Structure 1
Amino acid sequence: MTFKKTQTGCAIAAATLTMAGALVSPQALAHSKAERIAEATSSKVDALEAQLQAMQAELNSLRAAQGAPSADAQKVQELDEWMQQVKSAPVKAQDHHDNTIFFRGGFAHSDQARNGVSIQSDVVPVGAQDQSDTDAWYIGAGFDFGLTDDVWGMMDNTQVLAELMFEYKEFGGHVQGNAIAQDPTGLVAAGTPRSVTVNQLTITAAPKIKFMKDSPLRPWIIPIGLGLHVISPPSESITVLNPGLMFGGGADYRLWKDIFIGVDARYHLTGGASDGVNTDGYTAGGYIGIGF
C-alpha cells in the first residue's frame, strides 16, 4: 500500500516536472530568438547610421570644394574679369604713326667764310681773291624712327626717336676761282678764271626727344648728334670730309592725321678749321612731315 502511494507520488512529480519543462522551454526559446532579432536589427541600424554619416561627410566635402575654388578656377575667373575690363574700356583711335619722313629748307650761316683749293692762293693778295658768302640756303630730308613712347619707362608721353638726316647747303654759285690756284699758265693769260660753286653736304644721325605725345603741338630737342660734312671745293690740303657734333631743337604741329609742319634750328660744331676750312655754323628753317 505504501509502495503504491510512493509510485503514485513519483508519477505525479514526474508529470509535474514534465509539464513545467514543456511550459518553460517555449518561453526560453522565444526569449532567445527575440534577443537575436533585436541584436540583428541593432547592427543594421548601426551600419545604416555609419553609411549616412559617410554620405554626410562626402556632401560636406563637396560643398567645401565648391565654396573654395581651385587655383586654376581662380586664374580663369581673373582672366575673364580682365577681358571684360578690356572690352568695356573706350577704344582709342590711333590716327597717326610714330615713324615719319620730313623735308626741310631754310637759312644757313657759317661762322667763317669758306675757301678752298680752287679759291684760295697764298701768293695772291687777299683783296684780289674772291670769297664765298657766310650766309647760305639749305634743303634736306630725313627719317624719324620711333624707339620708345615713355623713355623706356622713365617719362610718360615722351618719345625717343632715331633721326637720320641729310642737308645740302650752298654758300655761292658763282664765286670767282683763283686763276693762279687753278691754272697759272693758261687761265691767267687768257683772263678767264673758272667760277666755283661753294657748297656743303651734311649727313647727321642723332637721338630726338619729343614731348607731349598726345598733343597736336609737340616740341622736341636733339641733345647731341653726329655730323659728317662733305665740302666742295676741297681744302688747300684736298680735304673733303670734316666730322663734328650737332645740337638742335624745334616743334611741329599736326595739321591732319599723318601730315604736320614744323620749325627747327640746329648748330654744327666741328672744333675748328680742318685744313683751313671751318664748317661750324647753324641752320634755321621749316619742314613738312608725313607719318608712316
Structure 2
Amino acid sequence: MQTFFRKTTLRIPLACLSVAVLTIAAPYSWARDSANDRIRLLEQKLQSIQLELERVKSESSQATEKVNTIEKTTNQNVQKVSSDLEQTKAKMKERVGDDVTEKTRMLFFRGGFAHMMNHRDGVTIKNEVLPIGAQDRSDKDGWYAGAGFDWGLTRDVWGYIPKTTVFAELMVEYKQFGSHVLGNGAVGNAPSMLAGGSLNPINVTVNQLTITASPKIKFFEGSKIRPWVIPAGLAIHVMSPPSESITYIVPGVQFGAGIDYNIWKDFFIGIDGRYQLTAGKTDDINLSGMTAGGYLGIGF
C-alpha cells in the first residue's frame, strides 16, 4: 500500500511536468510551422518572378533580333541603291561625257539660201489669162529665215539602235524670191490697164511660208558633233501671190540632213540642207525647192 502511494505520488509530479513541458513547447512548434509556410510562399513568388523575367528577356531578345534584321535589310537596300546610282552616273558620264551637254529639247533659229526648181507665176505677175502689160517673173534664187524646235522622243530608237536619238521637229520657215517683181497689167498695174490705165506696174513681193512637221534622227549621242537626217516629213506651203485661180496652199514632203555642234553648255550651231517636194504643178505652179544654211540652237 505504501508502495502504491509512493508510485502514485511520484507519477503525479511527472505528469504535471510533462504537461507543463508540452504547454511550453507547443507555441514554438506552431511558430516554426508558420515560418516554413511563409518561406515556401516566398520561394514560389520568387520562382514566378524569375519565370516572368525570363519570358520578358526572351521577348526582348526576339525584338532585338527583328530590329537587327530590319537594320541589316535597310543597310543592304541603301547600299544597293547607292551602287545603282553610282553605276547610272558612270554610264551617263561615259555616254554623255563631262564637256558635252545633252538635252532632249532644242529651240533653233535658221537662215540661208533658198532656191525654187521652177519659175513662179501668179495672178499679179505673169498671167496667161490676162497677158497685159508687164509679164514679169521672180528669180529662182532667194533667202529664207525660220525657227522651230526639236522634242526628244527616244534616246535609242526605242531600244533598237544605241546612241541614236529620235526627235519630233516642228518648224516655220519664210522664203522670199523677190520684192520688186513687176505686176501684171490687169491686176498689178495702177490703175489697171483693163480700166484704160497706162503701163504703170506696181512692185509685187514673191514669197512663201512653209510649215513642217518631221521626224529627225540624230546620231552619236554624247559627242559634240551630231549628224542628223529627216527621212520624210509633212510640209505645207503658203504662196504669195496666189495662182491665177487664187490657190495659195500647197502640201508637200520634206527631206533634210544636217550637223549639230555643241559650242558651249546648252548652245549649238549647225548647218543643214532641206528639199521640199510637191506633187507636180498646182494651177500651173510647182513649189518644189530647196534651202541650205545655218542655225543657232539652245537646248532646254
Question: Per the shorter chain, which TM-score range?
Answer: 0.7 to 0.9
Displacement of 1:230? 1.7
Cα distance in structure 1, aligned partners of 2:185 and 2:18: 169
Structure 1 spans left out of the alignment, 5+ residues = none
The one of 157, 166, 169 equivalent to 2:172 is 166
Cα distance in structure 2, aligned partners of 1:223 and 1:14: 142
Q: TM-score, normalised by structure 1?
A: 0.73
The one of 59, 71, 74 equivalent to 2:57 is 59
Cα distance in structure 1, aligned partners of 2:282 and 2:75: 70
Secondary structure at the counterpart of residue 67 of structure 2: coil
| Cα pair distance change 1:289/1:53, threshold 3 Å | same
Displacement of 1:78? 7.6
Cα distance in structure 2, aligned partners of 1:228 and 1:160: 22
1:253 paired residue number: 261
- Within 5 Å, give how 1:122-201 maps onto structure 2: 122=129, 131-133=137-139, 135-144=140-149, 146-147=151-152, 150=155, 159=165, 161-172=167-178, 175=181, 178-179=184-185, 182=188, 185=193, 196-201=204-209
Displacement of 1:262? 0.9
1:9 paired residue number: 7
Q: Percent identity?
A: 35
Cα distance in structure 2, aligned partners of 1:110 and 1:98: 33
The answer to whether the 8 Å contact 1:119/1:181 transfers is no
The one of 236, 247, 251 equivalent to 1:228 is 236
Cα distance in structure 2, aligned partners of 1:32 and 1:245: 121
Displacement of 1:176? 5.3
| Cα pair distance change 1:205/1:74, threshold 3 Å | farther
1:216 paired residue number: 224
Cα distance in structure 2, aligned partners of 1:111 and 1:105: 19
Structure 2 spans left out of the alignment, 5+ residues = none
Displacement of 1:41? 1.4
Task: Return the letter of the residue paired with 1:229.
Answer: H
Cα distance in structure 2, aligned partners of 1:213 and 1:187: 65
| Cα pair distance change 1:43/1:223, threshold 3 Å | farther
CA shift digits 1:246-279 (9 cap, x unpaired) = 3333221012223322122223233333222222
- What count of residue pairs does the alignment treat as equivalent? 287
The one of 111, 121, 126 equivalent to 1:119 is 126
| Cα pair distance change 1:207/1:72, threshold 3 Å | farther
| Cα pair distance change 1:35/1:209, threshold 3 Å | farther
Q: TM-score, normalised by structure 2?
A: 0.71
2:44 paired residue number: 46
Displacement of 1:225? 3.8
| Cα pair distance change 1:24/1:157, threshold 3 Å | farther
Cα distance in structure 1, aligned partners of 2:14 and 2:155: 119
